[in-house]
A and B are shown apart, each in its own frame.
Chain A
Amino acid sequence: MKTQEGVWFGCELEALGVDGFDEGDDLPEEFRQLITQVVMVQADLESELVFDSSLLRHNILAAPDPRGRMRMAKFFAEEVRHGYTFWRIAKGLGVELTGRYFREAKRKRQEAFEHIGAVSDWTELAIVNTLTDRMGVFVFKDMQDCSYRPWAQVSLEVARDEVGHTALGYANLRESIEKRGQLEAAQRYLEKWYPMTLDMFGRSDSSRQWRYVAWGIKRSGNEELRLRFVEEVNPLLRQVGLEPPDYLFNRHFL
């Protein structure tokens, strides 16, 4: 596993003689900022579902048949549960997320999050789930032994849910291409979402990524996770006749 020289998983904790923190502990300031950032990135998308159900309705009704709508309703039941979980953990860190926050706050969001709300085409939604939910699998598995114990306790379960979500996205994508003739549209959506998904892993040269490792919050650097993602997802895309864009195509955060 590649890390910055002199940094290893949890080295800051070792220096303090602790192996992790619980809710309510007196957190070191840098740790508090980093774990809050992790929670807020996830809450920014999924906790909004606890306050605004329009995305649920929008995406469930995008399914072309009753089976697809049933599956999407089950899918969103899990996403809402994640949203509540992240809301609860944010509250434990002293951040009270409200409906007003999601409606009005001028906050920095990942580019992909801004686009997800506008997705209404079933094939595009299948691409989004194939890519971004798989990204979630990698991110959450990487934090299953996170030093903030409330986060570690939910990471593996969330990762497993995301495995189901990305598999559903892929099954829907395959059906769209093989039974509805949507190969061309799928390739177009892939070229839109593939670079955004790669960007979601974060910059390769970010200095902050090693602070997450040092505090035992994450195990891997951004580029390592991104490369593992590409290695896994590209063969899946090629099997349904899609051509993954170049690794650097239309990327904004290298």
Chain B
Amino acid sequence: MGTPGTTTISWSDLEGLVDVLRAAHPRVDPRALDDAELQALVDGLEGVETSGAPGPGDFEALRAMWHWGA
């Protein structure tokens, strides 16, 4: 259960996560970020909690979806 006033996004919903990241960081180039830096951006999203434990492939897929567009 999420904290009141926050939205919870699962790591399995990469498209949802990418939408939020794009809106919060419109100038960021995800190709320039390593996995730890991507995780830090996700952790720093205001009003958003994530559920699930990402593996290295989740970061790679996130990077692709963010960069190449829907």
Contacts and interface: CB of A to CB of B under 8 A. Distances in A.
Nearest to B58: A239
Interface in A60-83: 67, 70-71, 74-75
B57 A240 contact: yes
Contact of B60 (A74, A161, A171): A171
Contacts of B60: 166-167, 170-171, 236
Given A67-B70, A235-B55, A163 B61 contact: no
B31 A170 contact: no
B68 A71 contact: yes
Interface string B8-30: 00000000000000000000010
A168 interface: yes
A164 B32 CA distance: 9
B31 A236 contact: no
A170 B64 contact: yes
A160 B29 contact: yes
Q: How large is the interface on B (under 10, 10 to 19, 20 to 34, 35 or more residues)?
A: 10 to 19
A164 B56 CA distance: 15
Nearest to A137: B31
User: A interface, how many residues as a size bin?
Assistant: 10 to 19
Contacts of A174: 57, 61
Interface in A178-216: none
Nearest to B54: A239
A235 B56 CA distance: 7
A170 B68 CA distance: 12
Nearest to B14: A171
A170 B31 CA distance: 14
B32 to A, nearest CB: 6
Given A163-B63, A171-B64, A239 B56 contact: yes
Nearest to B34: A163
17 contacts: A67-B70, A74-B68, A160-B29, A164-B31, A164-B67, A164-B68, A167-B31, A167-B68, A168-B68, A171-B60, A171-B61, A171-B65, A235-B55, A235-B56, A236-B60, A239-B55, A239-B57
Interface of A: 67, 70-71, 74-75, 160-161, 163-164, 166-168, 170-171, 174, 235-236, 239-240
